C-alpha cells in the first residue's frame, strides 16, 4: 500500500505523466474528481443552469403579467402574439407568407 504523499508508478507510465496526474488529483482533494469527472466544475455548471432557470421562470411570470395588462387595456392577446412572432422574422419572409396567405384566401374565395 502506498504511503501518503507517495504515488507509485502505474503500468504504461510514459515519462511519468500518469504519475503526475495521480499526484495532482490527490492534491485537489477527493471531491475534485470523481470517476473522471471534475466535480467542482460540474457543480458550478449545474448551479449556473439552475440560476438561469429561476431567472427564466421570473421572466415568464413578468411576460404573463404584461399580457394580462394588455388584455385589460383592450388588446387582443392572440393578435399581439402574432405581431411578436412577425417581428422576429425577416421582412422578406413576412412578405412571402402574407403573399401566400392572400393567394390561398383568393383561391378559396375568401
Per-residue pLDDT reduced to its tens digit, 23-44 = 555 555 555 677 788 999 999 9
Whole-number Å distance between alpha carbons of 55 and 3: 49
The arithmetic mean of pLDDT across residues 104-110, rounded, is 96
Query: What gap in Å lies between CA 74 and CA 71, rounded to an integer?
Result: 5
Written as nine digits, the cell of 79 is 393578435
Same domain, 45 and 18: no
Count of structural domains, the chain: 3
> What pTM was estimated for this model as a whole?
0.58
Same domain, 1 and 12: yes
| 83 shares its domain with 68 | no
Q: With 60 as the cut, is the pLDDT of residue 22 above it?
A: no
Domain hosting 87: range is 76-110
Residues near 9 by Cβ (< 8 Å), separated by ≥ 6?
A: 16, 18, 19
**Per-residue model confidence as pLDDT tens digits over 46-105:** 999 999 999 999 999 999 999 999 999 999 999 999 999 999 999 999 999 999 999 999
Are residues 25 and 32 in contact, defined by beta-carbon separation less than 8 angstroms? yes
| 68 Cβ contact list (under 8 Å, min separation 6) | none
Question: Are 41 and 59 in the same domain?
Answer: yes
Residue 33: per-residue pLDDT: 75
Amino acid at each position: 500500500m502506498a504511503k501518503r504523499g507517495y504515488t507509485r508508478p502505474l503500468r504504461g507510465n510514459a515519462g511519468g505523466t500518469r504519475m503526475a496526474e495521480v499526484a495532482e488529483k490527490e492534491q485537489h482533494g477527493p471531491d475534485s474528481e470523481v470517476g473522471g469527472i471534475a466535480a467542482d466544475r460540474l457543480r458550478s455548471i449545474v448551479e449556473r443552469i439552475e440560476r438561469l432557470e429561476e431567472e427564466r421562470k421570473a421572466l415568464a411570470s413578468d411576460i404573463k403579467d404584461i399580457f394580462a395588462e394588455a388584455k385589460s387595456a383592450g388588446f387582443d392577446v392572440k393578435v399581439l402574439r402574432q405581431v411578436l412572432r412577425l417581428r422576429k422574422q425577416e421582412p422578406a419572409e413576412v412578405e412571402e407568407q402574407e403573399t401566400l396567405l392572400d393567394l390561398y384566401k383568393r383561391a378559396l374565395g375568401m
